[in-house]
Amino acid sequence: MATTALKATARRLLAGGVCLAAAGLVAAPALAQSITVVREVDSDRYDPHRSTARAASEVLFMVADTLVSLDYDMQTVKPGLAERWEVSDDGKTYTFHLKDGVKFCDGKKMTAADVVYSLKRWIDPATKSPVAWRAGEVEDIVAVDDRTVEYRLKAPFSELLYQLTQSFAVVIDQATVEKLGGDFGVKGFNGTGPYCWVEWRPRNDLKLARNPDYNWGPPIYENTGPAQVEEIVWKIVPEENTRMAAVATGQSEITQYVPYSTLNTLRANPQLLVSQSDAAFWTYFAGFKIDREMVSEEAVRQAMVLAVDQDAIAENLYFGEVEPAHSYISQAALDWDKDLDDKLIRTDVEKAGKLLDEAGWKMESDGFRYKNGKKLSPVAYSFAGSTWQKLMEAMQGDLRKVGVDLDIQAFDATIAWGKMATQEFDVFGMSYPYISAGDALNLYFRSANTPTPNRMNWKDPETDELLDRGKAALDPETRAQAYGKVLEKVHQAAVWIPLYHEPMKLVQTKKLAPVKPHNIYGCGLYKGLDIKFQ
């Protein structure tokens, strides 16, 4: 009798469970024309002048516009909010003529005054923008009339247009900034982009809706507006395999954040498309603090550079999906000096050993080198986490072959930046995005930029002079030559160990028309104007 009763109870429970499951398994209709983009991390906020994270730029490019835009080749500047522009002969005045009919998401007309406000807010010391230097040495920015902006520099800055394509230079609405105060870019945003800000739930998702009035997109797109999907949801999924599974199962339509190890599996999936940009402008390197005793000898640094096998790292750690770096910047970058093509950094373990022998570092029975009783054991500071841990260990293995004992000390990202601002290490690991040789070299090798971002303490008046020359050059050849000389100089002094250039890869469902990956500041979707369902 007990069995009968229990069977009845179990039946009831089972029936309830089945109903629940059945209800759950009914396919839910997705919001028409809505796409979800999964990514690893969120930004701290979406204020163009206060956020330097790639995660912020990804969204800012979509919700706002810049005066000029950058073509897929990462070299050609195209119109943006400005339909045309002129540069004065002395290279100090840029005059931008704005497109007519541009409106903010709230319907307000955008004028030259908005451009002036945005750019001045960027360079205002009160804003404390960490990237204000990118705006050049500004004398003044003036609204000549409603549709003309004059950008006056104290000295020529040949990269200005490229810097103005970045998300730091987007145009924002003054009234919204003032109304929201500290909550600007947190609880709201008002830009002129192809998508409008809807809602941000920090660390979860950020929703953008199509701006129906948008028709002033950059000419690099076939569709200059409006956007072709109703909604974009940027969703944070920290776990990399979950992101991969999300795009494989259609829970995310597109992403650039999938582990390299899964790319071949994804390529084999007939429902997915993996595409890649031609150029890789995100470079990983290990830098030397050149005035630290352990690595102060040029020969030691050169030996360490020669000992590291970039090709093996790219092949073994990244399944051949990244480009081994044989220079500090990509050869495809703007202002790359072609004269350096035959002076690239190549692995040569034998030469590395010879250099160390000549420098007096003798190999002992334990397999490591010593000089005056001191072991050649540089301390390397790195980020904790899979990417840097693997990279540092690969370098450690290569360096061990020539008798160098790399002492790796990894820190959580939240303190690593602080640690790397100190003077207590010999080697550090870092990666960075850039648009041109000048962009990269001016940031990292200027004497004035010590202790950060010039963590190498590379102080050299000749480098500064060459950088000034490149920065002020009025023609591309002079600029490339000046930067080429800087690069040759720092290559020779072995200030960095170049590791690899990271290309932009997009994985998308074939339900979407193929999206061409951009590479601006590592933001593969750029303005998202070509995202559409097939």
Partner 1 sequence: MAQHVLYRLLLAVPVLFGVLLLGFLLLQLVPGDPATVIAGPMAPPAVIEEIRRELGLDKPVIVQFFLYLVRVLQGDLGHSLISNTSVIEELAAAVGPTVELMVACLVWSVPLGIAMGTVAAVRQGGLLDRVIMAFSVAGVSMPIFFIGLLLMQYFGFVWQLLPFIGRGGPLWSIDGLRHIVLPAVSLGLIFIGPVARMTRTAVLEVLRADHVRTARAKGLREKTVVLKHALRNALIPVVTLVGLQAGYLLGGAVVTESIYSWPGVGRLAVGAILSSDFPLAQGAIMVLALAFIIINLIVDVLYAVLDPRVQRS
338 is a contact residue toward partner 1 (CB under 8 A): no
Residues contacting 284, CB < 8 A, separation 6+: 325, 391, 429, 430, 431, 499, 500, 501, 502
Query: Are 347 and 306 in contact, with CB atoms under 8 Å apart?
Result: yes
Q: How far is the CB of 244 from partner 1 (least distance, A)?
A: 9
534 is a contact residue toward partner 1 (CB under 8 A): no
Type and span of the H or E element at 80: none
d(CA 184, CA 118): 13
Phi-psi category of 367—alpha, beta or left, where left has phi over 0 and alpha has psi -120 to 50?
Answer: left
CB under 8 A: which stretch of 9-17, 287-295, 354-362, 498-506 binds partner 1? 9-17
Shorter beta-carbon distance to partner 1: residue 39 or 210: 39
d(CA 39, CA 235): 6
40 is a contact residue toward partner 1 (CB under 8 A): no
Which of 100, 145, 239, 364 is close enough to bind partner 1 by CB under 8 A? Answer: 239
Which of 71, 150, 205, 231 is close enough to bind partner 1 by CB under 8 A? Answer: 205
Shorter beta-carbon distance to partner 1: residue 265 or 316: 265
Which of 106, 412, 424, 465 is close enough to bind partner 1 by CB under 8 A? Answer: 412
Which of 3, 365, 372, 534 is close enough to bind partner 1 by CB under 8 A? Answer: 3
Q: How far is the CB of 457 from partner 1 (least distance, A)?
A: 14
Any bridge partners for residue 38, and if so which? 235
Q: How far is the CB of 241 from partner 1 (least distance, A)?
A: 8
507 is a contact residue toward partner 1 (CB under 8 A): no
385 is a contact residue toward partner 1 (CB under 8 A): no
367 is a contact residue toward partner 1 (CB under 8 A): no
Q: How far is the CB of 237 from partner 1 (least distance, A)?
A: 5
183 is a contact residue toward partner 1 (CB under 8 A): yes
Query: Are 276 and 370 in contact, with CB atoms under 8 Å apart?
Result: no
Which of 130, 212, 219, 514 is close enough to bind partner 1 by CB under 8 A? Answer: 130
Shorter beta-carbon distance to partner 1: residue 372 or 414: 414
198 is a contact residue toward partner 1 (CB under 8 A): no
Which of 87, 138, 186, 312 is close enough to bind partner 1 by CB under 8 A? Answer: 186
Which of 13, 15, 344, 474 is close enough to bind partner 1 by CB under 8 A? Answer: 13
Output the CA angle 515-164-445, nearest 5 degrees: 105
Size of the site for partner 1 (CB under 8 A): 57
Query: Are 219 and 83 in contact, with CB atoms under 8 Å apart?
Result: no
Which of 219, 451, 476, 514 is close enough to bind partner 1 by CB under 8 A? Answer: 451
Type and span of the H or E element at 77: strand 77-79
Which of 76, 242, 265, 386 is close enough to bind partner 1 by CB under 8 A? Answer: 242
Which of 84, 154, 201, 510 is close enough to bind partner 1 by CB under 8 A? Answer: 201
Question: In the stretch 153-182, what mask flags binding to partner 1 with x, by CB under 8 A?
Answer: -----------------------------x
- The most distant pair of C-alpha atoms in the chain lies apart, rounded to whole Å, by 101
271 is a contact residue toward partner 1 (CB under 8 A): no
Taking CA atoms, 198 is separated from 162, 176, 230, in Å, by 29, 14, 12
**DSSP single-letter state for residue 429:** E
Residue 166's SS3 state is coil
Which of 52, 127, 275, 276 is close enough to bind partner 1 by CB under 8 A? Answer: 52
Residues contacting 182, CB < 8 A, separation 6+: none
18 is a contact residue toward partner 1 (CB under 8 A): no
Query: Are 310 and 325 in contact, with CB atoms under 8 Å apart?
Result: yes
Output the CA angle 481-484-487, nearest 5 degrees: 160
Taking CA atoms, 66 is separated from 6, 29, 60, in Å, by 70, 36, 10
Which of 245, 363, 379, 493 is close enough to bind partner 1 by CB under 8 A? Answer: 245
Which of 25, 126, 268, 448 is close enough to bind partner 1 by CB under 8 A? Answer: 25
Pull the structure tokens for residue 477.
């050849």
126 is a contact residue toward partner 1 (CB under 8 A): no
Pull the structure tokens for residue 437.
């040789």
Q: Torsion over CA of 310, 313, 316 and 319, rounded to 10 degrees?
A: -90
Shorter beta-carbon distance to partner 1: residue 281 or 336: 281
372 is a contact residue toward partner 1 (CB under 8 A): no
203 is a contact residue toward partner 1 (CB under 8 A): yes
Residue 371's SS3 state is strand
125 is a contact residue toward partner 1 (CB under 8 A): no
CB under 8 A: which stretch of 108-116, 128-136, 338-346, 349-357 binds partner 1? 128-136
d(CA 327, CA 238): 32
Which of 75, 127, 251, 431 is close enough to bind partner 1 by CB under 8 A? Answer: 251
Q: Per 3-state DSSP, what percentage of the chain is helix, strand, and coil (rounded to 5)?
A: 35, 20, 45
d(CA 459, CA 440): 16
d(CA 331, CA 437): 9
Q: How far is the CB of 249 from partner 1 (least distance, A)?
A: 5
Kindly list the residues in this chain that would bind partner 1 in the complex (CB under 8 A). Answer: 1-6, 8-10, 13, 17, 20-21, 23-26, 28, 38, 44-45, 52, 128, 130-131, 182-183, 186-187, 201-205, 235-239, 242, 245-246, 248-252, 411-412, 414-415, 417-418, 421, 451-453
